[in-house]
Amino acid sequence: MIETMENPVPVIDESVYHEPYVVKDDCLCERIKVKDQVIEVKLADFVPVLKAEVTLDDGADQRKLFRVAGTYKDGTVLPEQTVSADEMQSMKWLLQRWGQYGTVIPRQNVLGKISHAILLTKHEVRNETVFLQTGWREFPNGFEFLMPNENVTDKKVELQGKLNRYKFTVPCEKDDLIFLSAMLEESFAPQRIILPMLAFTFLCPLNHFLKIAGYEPKFVVIIIGKTGSRKSSLAAVFCSFYGNFTASDLPMSFHDTANSILADIYYLKDVLTCIDDFHPSGMHKEQEMREIAQCISRYYGDRSGRGRMNSRLEKENAKPPMGNAVETSESTLGICESGEARHFYLELDENDIVLPEFSEYQKLARQNILSGMMMRYVDWIKEKYLSDAKSFADLLREKFESYREMFIRKLSERGIKAHTRTPDMLAHLKIGLEYLLEFLVDSEQIGENDFKKYTETFDELLLQNTAANSEIIIRENPVNVFCEKIKSLLDSGRCYTEPRGSGAPRQKNCIGLHDENNYYLFMDTAHSEVRKLCAEQGEHFTIKKNDLLKQLRKEGLIESKTSKNTISIRENSSSVVNVTVIAKSKLNDRLCAAVSPPSAEVGETAEQ
């Protein structure tokens, strides 16, 4: 064919795609054979090419993304798009993202052919892996601690939304560690606050190996303080060992949904996070926040994620919490006893924070020096212990079991009543502080005598804190709550009990019978009235009646010669009623006792 101005020779470029696709006159075409003749059939007025294939790795699952660039036939460069594997199959994204430039030729299966052409791009396609989870990961050349870091290009980590403030930059200078060792004293807050928070913060990078050892931490630290006590600012400083946070941009809050929190805490492996601002206002909001608090205590206390099914009815991998969490609150959470037992309480008084010194550490956080300290710490762990990770896990197991037995013994010797989970918490915190101190000794910031001094001080602080914490747990014991509210209902006259055998007609607010020695409670009515009173007072009493009966029997309050929690007694000559018998003396002893009995023997494994 002779080229003329009216009939130019088409320009065909075979260098962009593998067969059967070509570029003809700056448009994507497919070569097909028709009656022994090869022709080019236009698919679209643009040329899309694959730039990169990205693997998103969240530690449990992997999924693919594709980065696609394009040029319209008039030379307009189309913005590069990142599309999922599902989007690559449907190709509906062309119009959604490129608008009119993404128009295709209306022909059967044209979208499938365009997708096929993109994946047959000839030029070199970058293969990238983006990690969506922080923390330790084992690679062929050893362990690496993954964190978002602009200075690291070979292992890219991305966190979305409010989690994007987690980041490492560069390790701090060795001289900067003097600020870390200064925190061991009462630098900007009392040691009873600073030391447990340091221990918990530096325990986080040990989580991976404690899990291998079978002793992953299963508790949450909670900072309680009035408005203005700077509890959120304190939490932000400690979170800044893993990024750059202030009181106004903490990773999560109780205003988030439970599902949102559960999704986020999975990605924050081996680091510290914060769920901020538990302050119920109004009955509906209060119930919602308490339910979230209960969920968080279960998530971390059991280290379990929700089981899910995908759209193909296939079971997905569970995604439990992988790091540690601190909560801030204006009061105790008011959740069930086992939920409270999953918390380590730190009470922050209004004047505990020393502002001039505290401002210096906030400045260190802004300058990424605190996160630089953590970088040096994880590098130290890797260099000193991770040439043999299994031996390190075995060492942690031995330490944990030894420290747990030590705290069981000390709690018993001092007569401190504690929940069965408490010695585990104390052992974990002791391990966290011990490895921080060992790091500072190796970094020549403190000496061996300092190591011993801080360890002894910390052990004593933990025991003192446990004595205070146990009062909180005992206060939330449903048996104690029930006894207290029953007494309150009777003393106030809101409810009453009839003398046994009186035969008098009962009013609606009658919750049972009594004689000189016992109460004979109608448990359905009594349980309902206690729940109503708690709800009116903004308290949480969610235990079911049958579970309460079991707990009352377990703690020795029910008077019964059989295995049943209720008995039938004759009210008068013509009627029999089912009641739960509680001795008056035992109920009064329960309310007047200086220290209530623990929920179980300290040292046993609690599975609640």
Express each pLDDT in 483-524 by its tens digit: 999 999 999 999 999 998 887 888 889 999 999 999 999 999
Token pair of 348 as six digits: 């922050």
Residue 262 phi, psi (nearest 5): -60, -40
Token pair of 365 as six digits: 């956080």
Any domain includes 123? yes
Any domain includes 47? yes
pLDDT at 593: 54
Question: Which of the pair, 581 or 541, is modelled with greater confidence?
Answer: 581
Determine the Cα–Cα distance for residues 316 and 62; give it in Å rounded to an integer. Answer: 12
pLDDT at 1: 40
Q: Residue 308 — very low, low, confident or very high, per pLDDT cuts 50/70/90?
A: low
**Best CA proximity match to 463, nearest among 412, 520, 513, 500:** 412
Determine the Cα–Cα distance for residues 233 and 237; give it in Å rounded to an integer. Answer: 6
Lowest mean pLDDT among 88-97, 459-468, 481-490, 593-602: 593-602
Residue 14 phi, psi (nearest 5): -100, 5
Same domain, residue pair 419 and 532: no
Other Cβ atoms within 10 Å of 540 Cβ, number: 23
Cβ neighbours of residue 588 under 8 Å, at least 6 residues apart? none
Over residues 596-605, mean pLDDT? 40
Cβ neighbours of residue 480 under 8 Å, at least 6 residues apart? 474, 590, 596
pLDDT for residue 567 is more than 70: yes
Over residues 322-340, mean pLDDT? 83
| Per-residue three-class SS string for 251-266 | CEECCCCHHHHHHHHH
Any domain includes 546? yes
Determine the Cα–Cα distance for residues 110 and 28; give it in Å rounded to an integer. Answer: 11
**Cα dist from 418 to 217, 379, 424, whole Å:** 18, 37, 11
Other Cβ atoms within 10 Å of 377 Cβ, number: 25
Any domain includes 4? no
Q: Are strands 576-583 and 518-521 parallel, antiparallel or unpaired?
A: antiparallel
Over residues 45-60, mean pLDDT? 94
Q: Residue 276 — very low, low, confident or very high, per pLDDT cuts 50/70/90?
A: very high
Sheet with 518-521, edge to edge strand ranges:
496-499, 510-514, 518-521, 576-583, 567-570
**Cα dist from 403 to 61, 130, 603, whole Å:** 36, 39, 11
Segment (H or E) for 400:
helix 389-414
pLDDT for residue 338 is more than 60: yes
How far does Cα 3 stand from its chain's mean position?
70
Peptide bond into 171 cis (omega under 30): no
Residue that is written with structure tokens 């097909």 in the block: 32
Determine the Cα–Cα distance for residues 54 and 82; give it in Å rounded to an integer. Answer: 9
User: Residue 429 in contact with residue 196, Cβ under 8 Å?
Assistant: yes
Same domain, residue pair 61 and 195: no
Sheet with 27-34, edge to edge strand ranges:
12-13, 21-24, 27-34, 37-44
Segment (H or E) for 385:
helix 369-385
Same domain, residue pair 117 and 206: no
Token pair of 128 as six digits: 């990238």
Question: Which of the pair, 576 or 424, is modelled with greater confidence?
Answer: 424
Any domain includes 140? no
pLDDT at 480: 85
Determine the Cα–Cα distance for residues 93 and 102; give it in Å rounded to an integer. Answer: 9
Examine the fold and report which residue of 475, 498, 519 is the final residue of a domain before the chain moves on: 475
Residue 568 phi, psi (nearest 5): -100, 130
User: Residue 334 in contact with residue 292, Cβ under 8 Å?
Assistant: no
**Cα dist from 322 to 68, 259, 267, 565, whole Å:** 34, 15, 7, 41
Determine the Cα–Cα distance for residues 217 and 74; give it in Å rounded to an integer. Answer: 61
pLDDT in tens, 350-404: 899 999 999 999 999 999 999 999 999 999 999 999 999 999 999 999 999 999 9
Same domain, residue pair 237 and 380: yes
**Best CA proximity match to 68, nearest among 86, 56, 54:** 54
Determine the Cα–Cα distance for residues 217 and 300; give it in Å rounded to an integer. Answer: 8
Determine the Cα–Cα distance for residues 18 and 63; give it in Å rounded to an integer. Answer: 25
Same domain, residue pair 27 and 72: yes
Determine the Cα–Cα distance for residues 22 and 190; give it in Å rounded to an integer. Answer: 72
pLDDT for residue 444 is more than 90: yes
How far does Cα 135 stand from its chain's mean position?
14
pLDDT in tens, 184-231: 988 899 999 999 999 999 999 999 999 999 999 999 999 998 888 999
What is the residue-averaged pLDDT of the chain? 88
pLDDT at 598: 39
Lowest mean pLDDT among 206-220, 280-294, 358-372, 538-552: 280-294
DSSP code, position 243:
B
pLDDT in tens, 64-117: 999 999 999 999 999 999 999 999 999 999 999 999 999 999 989 999 999 999
Cβ neighbours of residue 398 under 8 Å, at least 6 residues apart? none
pLDDT at 311: 56
**Best CA proximity match to 231, nearest among 222, 240, 243:** 222
Residue that is written with structure tokens 């099914």 in the block: 309
**Cα dist from 602 to 69, 244, 411, whole Å:** 63, 39, 8
Determine the Cα–Cα distance for residues 205 and 324; give it in Å rounded to an integer. Answer: 10
Any domain includes 113? yes
Q: Collapsing DSSP states into helix, strand and coil, what is residue 248?
A: coil
Any domain includes 606? no
Q: Residue 595 — very low, low, confident or very high, per pLDDT cuts 50/70/90?
A: very low
Examine the fold and report which residue of 475, 491, 523 is the final residue of a domain before the chain moves on: 475
pLDDT at 281: 64
Lowest mean pLDDT among 1-5, 143-147, 346-350: 1-5
Token pair of 161 as six digits: 């939304």
Any domain includes 136? no
User: Residue 393 in contact with residue 400, Cβ under 8 Å?
Assistant: no
456, burial (CB in 10 Å: exposed 0-12, middle 13-18, buried 19+): exposed
Cβ neighbours of residue 37 under 8 Å, at least 6 residues apart? none
CATH number at residue 513: 1.10.10
Structural domain containing residue 94? 12-131
User: Residue 384 in contact with residue 442, Cβ under 8 Å?
Assistant: yes
User: Residue 509 in contact with residue 497, Cβ under 8 Å?
Assistant: no
Same domain, residue pair 127 and 275: no
**Best CA proximity match to 208, nearest among 137, 266, 267:** 137
pLDDT for residue 245 is more than 80: yes
Same domain, residue pair 238 and 281: yes
Same domain, residue pair 453 and 562: no
Q: Residue 559 — very low, low, confident or very high, per pLDDT cuts 50/70/90?
A: confident
Same domain, residue pair 259 and 344: yes
Same domain, residue pair 285 and 176: yes
For the chain, how many structural domains are there in total? 3
Same domain, residue pair 115 and 254: no
Question: Which of the pair, 11 or 219, is modelled with greater confidence?
Answer: 219
Same domain, residue pair 110 and 158: no
Other Cβ atoms within 10 Å of 467 Cβ, number: 15
Question: Which of the pair, 283 or 109, is modelled with greater confidence?
Answer: 109
